Structure 1
Amino acid sequence: MSLEEASRQLEAAIHDARVAFDCILLEELDRAHTNAITARAAVDAAEQAIRVEFERREAEKTDKADKAGSGSTEKEPD
């Protein structure tokens, strides 16, 4: 997943939440419930995509730091 996918999922969540809100006003509770569930699922998918990207970037930083530090931390033999 990517950050673009996270954005799409959040847009879908916004839409589904708005539909759920409108359905509540119309007293269509079954449809409101369904849309609230799909909104929550979209938020969860977005959160997962963001977490994966965050972890990927943290691992990349760690790898760069390890590579940069590996040459300078070694001692020469006496």
Structure 2
Amino acid sequence: MSLEEASRQLEAAIHDARVSFDCILLEELDRAHTNAITARAAVDAAEQAIRVELERRTAEETDKEEADSPD
């Protein structure tokens, strides 16, 4: 996953959260519940994508530091 994917997932989460909010106001609780679950799944996917990118960057920095250090 990329940071672009994380951004898309967060946009989807925002949308689903808004739909869930509206459904609550309309007392469509089943639909509100479904959208709350999909919003949470999108947030989890975004968090995972960000974590993977952070780990990749940390590994790159470590590799660079090791290459630059004298033996």
Count of residues in correspondence between the two structures = 71
Query: Which stretches of structure 1, 4 residues or longer, exceed 4 Å deviation after superposition?
Result: none
Q: Between Structure 1 and Structure 2, whose CA radius of gyration is higher?
A: 1
- Taking only the aligned residue pairs, the percentage that are identical comes to 85
Structure 2 unpaired stretches of 5+: none
Q: Which runs of 5+ in 1 are unaligned?
A: none
- Matched ranges for 1:13-52 at <5 A: 13-52=13-52
Tell me the distance in 1 between the aligned counterparts of 2:2 and 2:60: 16
| TM-align CA RMSD | 0.5
Aligned residue for 1:27, secondary structure, equals coil
**What is the TM-score normalised by the length of structure 2?**
0.99
Task: Please give the alpha-carbon distance, in whole angstroms, between the structure 1 residues aligned to 2:54 and 2:2.
Answer: 10
Give the 3-state SS of the residue equivalent to 2:49 in structure 1.
helix
Structure-1-length-normalised TM-score: 0.90
